[in-house]
Amino acid sequence: MKVLAVNAGSSSLKFQMYEMPEEKVLISGLFERIGIDGSYTIKLNGEKVKKDVPLNTHKEAVQILIDELKNYGVVEDMNEIKGVGHRVVHGGDKYSESVLITDEVIKVLEDLIPLAPLHNPANITVINVFRELVPEATQVAVFDTGFHQTMKEENFLYPVPYEWYQNYGVRKYGFHGTSHKYVSGRCQELLGKQDSKIIVCHIGNGGSISAVKNGECIDTSMGLSPNAGIMMGTRAGDIDTSMVLYMKNNAGMTVEEIDNALNKKSGLLGISGVSSDSRDIEDGVKEGNERCILAQNMYVQKIVNYIAQYYVLLGGADAICFTAGVGENSKATRSAIIEKLACLGIKIDPVKNDVRGVETLISTDDSTCKVYIIPTDEEVMIARDTYHLANK
């Protein structure tokens, strides 16, 4: 059964088609700069083809995607696609599991736009395009927020007037849930037990940490929005909220300008003044750039703070898992993080740690907690849920 996993951003569209239940990848690709100038890359049989084409709308990107599936012989007829799974950034507290997409679900996603003004509109647009162009396929919504809905009130509520939660939905929702679910589930398999205490470090340009007990999330670092928790590529993470009013009054900035700065001009970029890319920061560290050194030290410490917090919350940990761009590929960042956890008896082997993007155990035999690199696979999680719901 052919299943298409789709991840739509505000100006991008990532896709991967599977033969299910074998989970064999048939074709994948990425459409970028939609609404700007446009380009897309197709990956098939280990080869990549990139094309520059005008992409004015997401609908144009989906139409080209459909044409290319036929051109490459992946399908002869679109009715061969039995399911399309959509990554949806925000499902609020309405959805803890993936769901079949109906008009009612679309209405809920529209109501949640204020909580995800950049992402949910793009998600809705692409869902509607696929419903129009591939009407026979089962359409499924897979929520970034879903995995975190097992958190208890004491962990997801903010200490603000309770009416804010009741009337406006102000609470911690958490994001990267599909990744946290995949990685923690895979870690349970590696540990060989379901009763487990796992800390997942999804650290890339965006980043979040989660505490997972017996397969359920009990806390996570991102909050009402993705601009909470650890320091990230361009996001500030946790800050003193008084800063907003202070900068408005003293720098003459509007609330929108401050929000933009905290989301797009802060984090590694804001401190280093060099780049939001961790690789550039590490290069700067090697060159002795003091602000890159400062940015890296701050970045590591913010991550360590959350790991330590969740270690206590869980009552210890069976495993710490590193995933996403930085977590999977930066041996320097992994090493710096674990070194700061030495007081907990957590250790990694520098030889085992000298790898990029492969699933492996990197902790020493005498470490009190296992440390893994587990490459994330959000697309396969989308495909699994889609396959399951399409066959119900």
pLDDT tens digits, 144-180:
999 999 999 999 999 999 999 999 999 999 999 999 9
Kind of pairing, strands 319-323 and 370-373? Answer: parallel
The closest of 316, 149, 324, 165 to 220, measured between CA atoms, is 149
Cα–Cα distance between 109 and 90 in angstroms, integer? 8
pLDDT grade, residue 360 (50/70/90)? very high
pLDDT at position 122:
86
Q: How far apart are CA 261 and CA 265, in angstroms?
A: 5
Query: CA-CA distance, 79 to 176, in Å (whole number)?
Result: 31
At residue 118, does pLDDT exceed 80? Answer: no
Tell me the sheet residues that pair with 320.
Answer: 199, 371
DSSP state of 146: G
Residue 306 is predicted with a pLDDT of 98
Domains and CATH numbers, the chain: 2-143 (3.30.420.40), 192-378 (3.30.420.40)
pLDDT tens-digit readout, 13-45: 899 999 999 999 999 999 988 888 888 899 998
Annotated catalytic, 238?
no
Higher-confidence residue of 205 and 301: namely 301
Residue-level pLDDT at 392: 79
Give Cβ neighbours of residue 296 (< 8 Å, ≥ 6 apart): 281, 282, 285, 333, 336
Element holding 6 (H helix, E strand): strand 2-8
**What is the layout of strands, in order, in the sheet containing 370-373?**
216-220, 207-213, 197-203, 319-323, 370-373, 360-361
H or E stretch at 220: strand 216-220
Strands 81-88 and 99-100, by their bridges, are unpaired
The residue from 52, 144, 259, 280 that is catalytic is: 144
Taking only the tens place, the pLDDT of each residue in 52-111 is 888 888 889 999 999 999 989 999 888 899 999 999 989 989 899 999 999 999 999 999
Residues 26 and 31: their CA atoms lie apart, in Å, by 17
